[in-house]
Amino acid sequence: MSDKLTPNNANAFDEVISIIENARESAFRAVNRELINMYWDIGEYICRRVSDSGWGKSVVKDFSDYIQSRYVGIRGFSASNIWRMKQFYEIYNGNEKLAPLVRELTWTHNLQIMTCNTDEEREFYILLSVNKKYTKRELKRQMDSALFERIMLSDTTNKLLTEDSESLTTLRDSYVLEFLDLPEKHKEKDLRKAIVANLKNFILEFGKDFAYIGDEYRIQVGNRDFYIDLLFSSRELHCLVAIELKIGEFEPEHLGKMDFYLEALDRDVKKRDENPSVGLILCTKKDATVVEYAMSRSLSPAMVAEYKLHLPDKRVLESKLRELTELAESSVAEDE
């Protein structure tokens, strides 16, 4: 019996692939609708509380913190996003035509369309996104090009809004995936790159005594190459400063790996008159951030205190890391 794939078998297998893809798309659509329904209901709740109980920014911030403490690991409940849910509800409440359609779009699509100036413009981009199944990037590109203004008087409008296309990528929204608590390894690399790029600028702005040496800095141990995310030199401490970014929770082995890097730097990179190298381990997982120092055991307590005095404060770094993570996630989401 032949093991070769015949045309008949290939056609049959493709039918199964089609079944799988249709099922996946249906599942994503169902979850996305539930997510948008949830945001709608929360928006209605906040709207009512603001009106009846005088809720303001401080109460909504407490509300946000409470939700995130109960559901650790699911993003989308920052105070700013909760205010967007209120705005979302207020814009489409009572609009029988558009209210059902916004549930067919991802939250990121809806956030983009909410920036439109008029109901007419929002309706145009909602219908366009639903019928053409635009990705977030394509929708943004069309809005930035003022497509609405350019074609409203054109006879191509109806054709544009009725043409259809198929693309599962429109449903791979980060809010949907995190609502399901699914891993997103496919975007982790881009997320790390975005955070590291902004982190470099922050460190340089933190103090003039920090000099940038390189990112993905290569060190060789034996026949293997290893790469440090960011490497600086501190003129004040007269030592090398290595920074490693981890997407995920802090693990004890992170310290072991950083100690390994510092040993290699002290042996092969640092100058004779320089002090032992120091490491910063930055871990970000959803809304949780952790910063740890790694220092040579040969340092005296006085030197350890001196290092900590001139290195970025942990609380400052953790706060900045949360900010950079949110910024990077938004950037990566727009590029998907």
The length of the chain, given as a count of residues: 336
Are 48 and 172 contained in the same domain? yes
User: What domain range includes position 135?
Assistant: 7-182
DSSP string, 219-263: EEETTEEEEEEEEEEETTTTEEEEEEEEES---HHHHHHHHHHHH
- 287 domain-assigned: yes
More confident residue, 309 or 242: 242
What mean pLDDT is predicted for residues 107-123? 89
Buried b (16+ CB within 10 A) or exposed e, 161-194: eeeeeeeeebbbbbbbbbbeeeeeeebeeebbbb
This prediction has a pTM of 0.49
Task: State the chain's mean pLDDT as an integer.
Answer: 81
Are 31 and 114 contained in the same domain? yes
Query: How much is the pLDDT for 183?
Result: 45
Beta carbons within 8 Å of 155's beta carbon, 6+ residues apart: none
Q: Give whichever of 33-37, 160-164, 316-320 has the largest mean pLDDT.
A: 33-37
- 2 domain-assigned: no
More confident residue, 206 or 255: 255
| Structure tokens given for 111 | 């956030």
Pick the last residue of a domain from 152, 182, 212: 182
- pLDDT of 110 above 60: yes
Kindly report which listed range (99-103, 157-161, 213-217) carries the lowest average pLDDT score. 157-161
Per-residue confidence band for 207, with pLDDT thresholds at 50, 70 and 90:
low
Are 253 and 135 contained in the same domain? no
Are 191 and 291 contained in the same domain? yes
Pick the last residue of a domain from 143, 163, 182: 182
Beta carbons within 8 Å of 298's beta carbon, 6+ residues apart: 276
What is the maximum alpha-carbon separation in the chain?
A: 78
- 223 domain-assigned: yes
Are 203 and 298 contained in the same domain? yes
Are 16 and 106 contained in the same domain? yes
Query: How much is the pLDDT for 20?
Result: 84
- 1 domain-assigned: no
Domain count, the chain: 2
More confident residue, 188 or 209: 209
- 53 domain-assigned: yes
Pick the last residue of a domain from 135, 153, 182: 182
Q: What CATH number does the domain containing 289 carry? A: 3.40.1350
Are 132 and 32 contained in the same domain? yes
Are 47 and 104 contained in the same domain? yes
Per-residue confidence band for 167, with pLDDT thresholds at 50, 70 and 90:
very low
- pLDDT of 221 above 60: yes
- pLDDT of 282 above 70: yes
